[in-house]
Amino acid sequence: MQKLAILGSTGSIGRNTLDVVARHPDRYQVFALAAHRRIDLLEAQIRTFNPAVAVVVDPVAAETLSLRLAGSNLTTEIRSGADAIISIAQDAAVDTVMAAIVGAAGLPSALAAAEAGKRVLLANKEALVMAGPVFMNAVRQSGALLLPIDSEHNAIFQSLPADYQQNPGRHGVAHIILTASGGPFRGYDRKRLLKVTPEEAVSHPNWAMGRKISVDSATLMNKGLEVIEAHYLFGIDPERIRVVVHPQSTIHSLVQYIDGSVLAELGAPDMRTPIAHALGWPDRIEAGVPMLDLISSGSFDFLPPDLEAFPCLRLAFEALRSAGRAPAILNAANEIAVAAFLERQIGFVDIPRVIEETLTHIPNGPVDSLADVLAADAAARVYAQSRLAV
Ligand code: MG
């Protein structure tokens, strides 16, 4: 029986994880759930899965939840605060940690799980984008098993040899090819992008996702963050990482080998597939996802990404080549800019402007510790905030 801690249980990945887990009560037991403050949904999850511990980051919301559960015969202990999430990520009773807290807020707990040598199901991109060298070092030192949940990286993981991580130089990998849906504004030029709204940006054509990642998908920053993620996860140079727009989102990513072979993972665009893959690995378990029917899925299209209209992908490649703190600066500026766009403080095309200005202004430096990363993150946020109204 695998004991799970699901960090970010009320988000999109957390809900999909519980959907898969509920199909396999013989294999998985939910030991802990953690959420920011959506206690209505967390309460329902607690009543269904009866975890030993539930964490609500917001202390007032935690208090409300405790009162609601008082008098029920549930034994779940309610804790609050960000430190409580770290403690469940490292709890000796936990085998597997689903790190699905969105954004920079998810970094400390994902890192804590890696340091504790857990089986880490990594859905949070920022652990690798902001702190790639620190995070991968923690994985190596603790012997943690790292399984990517991001659909592209999960597809690459599946398309690489099983012993790739032990011997990455000896497998003849020529390129990693990340597929991108192109988002809701695929084919738009800059003039048309001047008028797009947050509502349009969050309506993704293929994937149902949270608001922040949906905007990232619309700007192509999501793909840029994934390029950085792939670099650290698989130890592949930026020059060997390619991005191709594939509007159908059926091919989730590919690996090209030096002999000309290309291996890929295909499936319906449903996050339960990578979640079930990582939960079950090396076994395969049922995910509740309909089988892909090739005949009815129609044709597959491939296009180059438009870096003129969508500069965020170019900025991400540049930050990765600069390395050090630049990816953390890029990420922080993007979080500020996307939040401002969702609040209608800036336009869609201001997002790359704010990021580029922040990357130019904040000095780069080495990343030797989490403190280095958090310092760069904080400085970038302050500067990006100052560049919103210009
Ligand atoms: Mg992805």
Domains, the chain: 2-149 (3.40.50.720), 157-313 (no CATH), 323-390 (1.10.1740.10)
For residue 104, the SS3 value is helix
pLDDT, tens digit only, all 390 positions of the chain: 999 999 999 999 999 999 999 999 999 999 999 999 899 999 999 999 999 999 999 999 999 999 999 988 899 999 999 999 999 999 999 999 999 998 889 999 999 999 999 999 999 999 999 999 999 999 999 999 999 999 999 999 999 998 898 887 788 999 999 999 999 999 999 999 999 999 999 986 666 667 888 999 999 999 999 999 999 999 999 999 999 999 999 999 999 999 999 999 999 999 999 999 999 999 999 999 999 999 998 899 999 999 999 999 999 999 999 999 999 999 999 999 999 999 999 999 999 999 999 999 999 999 999 999 999 999 999 999 999 987
Q: Ligand 1 centroid vs 39 CA: distance in angstroms? A: 27
Angle between helices 311-322 and 221-234 (to 10 degrees): 30
Please tell me the distance from the alpha carbon of residue 75 to that of residue 72, in angstroms, as a whole number: 9
Q: Residue 73's pLDDT is what?
A: 87
Q: Ligand 1 centroid vs 180 CA: distance in angstroms? A: 8
Enumerate long-range contacts of 73-81, CB under 8 Å, 24 or more apart.
Answer: 74/46, 74/47, 74/50, 75/50, 76/46, 76/50, 76/51, 76/52, 77/52, 77/53, 78/53, 78/54, 79/53, 79/54, 79/55, 80/55, 80/56, 81/55, 81/57
Query: For residues 356 and 311, is the Cβ–Cβ distance under 8 A?
Result: yes
Q: Residue 71's pLDDT is what?
A: 85
Name the residue among 302, 209, 282 with its Cα closest to residue 14: 209
Q: Residue 203's pLDDT is what?
A: 84
Please tell me the distance from the alpha carbon of residue 281 to that of residue 121, in angstroms, as a whole number: 11
Instruction: Give, in degrees to the nearest 5, the angle at Cα 300 between 299 and 301.
Output: 120
Pairing of strands 77-80, 53-56: parallel
284: left (phi over 0), alpha (psi -120 to 50) or beta: beta
Please tell me the distance from the alpha carbon of residue 123 to that of residue 7, in angstroms, as a whole number: 10
Residue at token pair 């592949």: 236
Q: Ligand 1 centroid vs 213 CA: distance in angstroms? A: 9
Query: For residues 218 and 201, is the Cβ–Cβ distance under 8 A?
Result: yes
Q: Ligand 1 centroid vs 179 CA: distance in angstroms? A: 9
Q: Residue 338's pLDDT is what?
A: 97
Kindly tell me the sign of the dihedral angle through the C-alpha atoms of 350, 352, 353, 359. Answer: positive
Q: Ligand 1 centroid vs 195 CA: distance in angstroms? A: 26
Query: For residues 280 and 26, is the Cβ–Cβ distance under 8 A?
Result: no
Q: Ligand 1 centroid vs 265 CA: distance in angstroms? A: 13
Q: Ligand 1 centroid vs 233 CA: distance in angstroms? A: 14
Q: Ligand 1 centroid vs 107 CA: distance in angstroms? A: 17
Q: Ligand 1 centroid vs 248 CA: distance in angstroms? A: 14
Q: Residue 190's pLDDT is what?
A: 94
CB count, 10 Å around CB of 271? 25
Q: Residue 207's pLDDT is what?
A: 65
Structure tokens at 58: 């917001």
Q: Ligand 1 centroid vs 150 CA: distance in angstroms? A: 5
Q: Ligand 1 centroid vs 368 CA: distance in angstroms? A: 27
Q: Ligand 1 centroid vs 50 CA: distance in angstroms? A: 30
Q: Ligand 1 centroid vs 207 CA: distance in angstroms? A: 10
Q: Using a CB cutoff of 5 Å, list residues around ligand 1, an ion.
A: 150-152
Residue at token pair 């949070």: 124
Q: Ligand 1 centroid vs 215 CA: distance in angstroms? A: 13
Burial group, residue 191, by CB count within 10 angstroms (0-12, 13-18, 19+): exposed
> What φ, ψ does residue 140 adopt, rounded to 5°?
-65, -45
Q: Residue 330's pLDDT is what?
A: 98
